[in-house]
């Protein structure tokens, strides 16, 4: 379970309170009096289980687990991961043969304290109390229970009984960005704060040993975390410092759906991962980003920061090459991968915490997942 010192508040940008500029936005709306309402990401926080070194995980467990896979050690060594945060630590408990029902029950046990820690810290970062949100959205592809994390967490935190809830399930690593879009629309329409929580426990889905290289790659990359984002409504007369959600774009290539899968099996959820994924994303990336930016008269050169989901080192290399970005632009994403591993949906929000943004600067968040699907969100610091 999460330890109290595992909560990470954002490395806050210079949040000088300035009136947010209302851009032509998919998320921006006006109220009945015609006043512009802009959803602003005003609070971010992450909670992680205790860290374990990648080298220790390999030497003390996975080296034996994959003793019949000659390339496994090289895959672990070149995953770009220095440490990870397994809520279910294989050095203590091998769940590779556990049934899916038992894994789901364990999911609730581990997810609630992580989610509670992240949401509590994010609300504090946004300057809000538990009585303020009108919506709690929870994104997860690693566990399912009913009543779910959304219901139980709302009760534990003391959220109002009339708080609306939204569960975003099984979308995979990109779920935070459509989640952010949905929450932003709620904030703009209802003029109330809202919370998005991404909670993922990939360690619950340790698979039985096999020669499948995609399983080796998944077990070398994935980690656990809960990351919460709080959005608040801002108006010209009532500015809110943070990151204004300006616009969202998405591309899905259903012809490549078999390249990334997340299958429910009798032994948890099993990742299917093709080596062709980076090349497919490379084809989607330039047009999707250009379309998003062109709607606002912008180009790649106008973007100060990039929060890219670190699906793996090769994915980051492809993004850097296809967009022509400098090494520094991808360093926050690479640093997140090194320090936390790939935490599925919450990872791109964790990258946002690493960005030293200043008022007026633009950020593009990118995340990828099954579909194959690419999501891009344009943010502006206000």
Residues designated catalytic: 173
Residue reference for tokens 């947010």: 20
Looking up tokens 């959820």 gives: 269
CB burial readout 242-259, b (16+ within 10 A) else e: bbbbbbbbbbbeeebeeb
The residues pairing with 139 across neighbouring beta strands, listed in sequence order, are: 168, 198
DSSP string covering 64-97: HHTTT-TTHHHHHHTSS-SEE--SS-TTT---TT
State the Cα–Cα distance between residues 113 and 132, nearest whole angstrom: 21
Q: Is 366 helix (H, G, I), strand (E, B) or coil?
A: strand
The distance between the two most distant Cα atoms of the chain, rounded to a whole number of Å, is 68
Q: How would you class 192 by CB atoms within 10 Å of its CB: exposed for 0-12, middle for 13-18, buried for 19 or more?
A: middle
Could you tell me which of 344, 361, 348, 294 has the C-alpha nearest to residue 319? Answer: 348
Which tokens sit at 10? 């954002």
End-to-end C-alpha distance for the chain, whole angstroms: 36
SS3 state at 103: helix
Beta-bridged to residue 8, according to DSSP, are: 46
CA distance 43 to 33: 28
């Amino acid at each position: 379970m999460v330890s109290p010192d595992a909560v990470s508040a954002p490395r806050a940008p210079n949040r000088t309170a300035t009136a947010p500029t209302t851009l032509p936005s998919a998320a921006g709306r006006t109220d009945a009096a015609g006043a512009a309402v802009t959803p602003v990401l005003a609070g971010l926080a992450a909670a992680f289980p205790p860290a374990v070194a990648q080298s220790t995980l390999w030497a003390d467990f996975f080296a034996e687990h994959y003793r019949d896979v000659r390339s496994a050690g090289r895959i672990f060594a070149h995953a770009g991961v220095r440490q990870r945060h397994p809520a279910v630590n294989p050095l203590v408990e091998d769940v590779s043969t556990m049934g899916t029902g038992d894994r789901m029950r364990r999911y609730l046990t581990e997810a609630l304290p992580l989610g509670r820690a992240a949401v509590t810290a994010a609300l504090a970062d946004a300057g809000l109390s538990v009585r303020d949100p009108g919506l709690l959205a929870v994104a997860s592809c690693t566990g399912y229970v009913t009543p779910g994390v959304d219901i139980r967490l709302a009760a534990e935190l003391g959220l109002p009984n009339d708080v609306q809830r939204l569960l975003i399930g099984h979308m995979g690593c990109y779920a935070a960005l459509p989640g952010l879009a949905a929450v932003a629309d709620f904030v703009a329409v209802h003029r109330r704060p809202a919370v998005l929580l991404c909670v993922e426990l990939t360690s619950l889905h340790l698979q039985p040993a096999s020669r499948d290289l995609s399983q080796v790659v998944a077990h070398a990359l994935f980690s656990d975390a809960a990351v919460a984002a709080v959005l608040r409504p801002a108006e010209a007369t009532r500015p809110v410092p943070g990151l204004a959600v300006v616009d969202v774009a998405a591309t899905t290539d259903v012809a490549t759906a078999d390249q990334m899968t997340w299958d429910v099996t009798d032994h948890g959820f099993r990742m299917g991962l093709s080596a062709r994924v980076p090349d497919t994303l490379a084809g989607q990336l330039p047009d999707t980003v250009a379309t998003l930016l062109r709607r606002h008269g912008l180009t790649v050169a106008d973007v100060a920061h990039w929060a890219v989901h670190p699906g793996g080192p090769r994915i980051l290399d492809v993004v850097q090459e296809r967009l022509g970005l400098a090494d520094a632009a991808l360093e926050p994403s690479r640093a997140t991968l090194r320090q936390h591993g790939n935490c599925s949906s919450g990872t791109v929000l964790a990258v946002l915490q690493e960005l030293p943004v200043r008022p007026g600067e633009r950020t593009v968040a990118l995340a990828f997942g099954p579909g194959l699907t690419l999501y891009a969100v344009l943010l502006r610091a206000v």
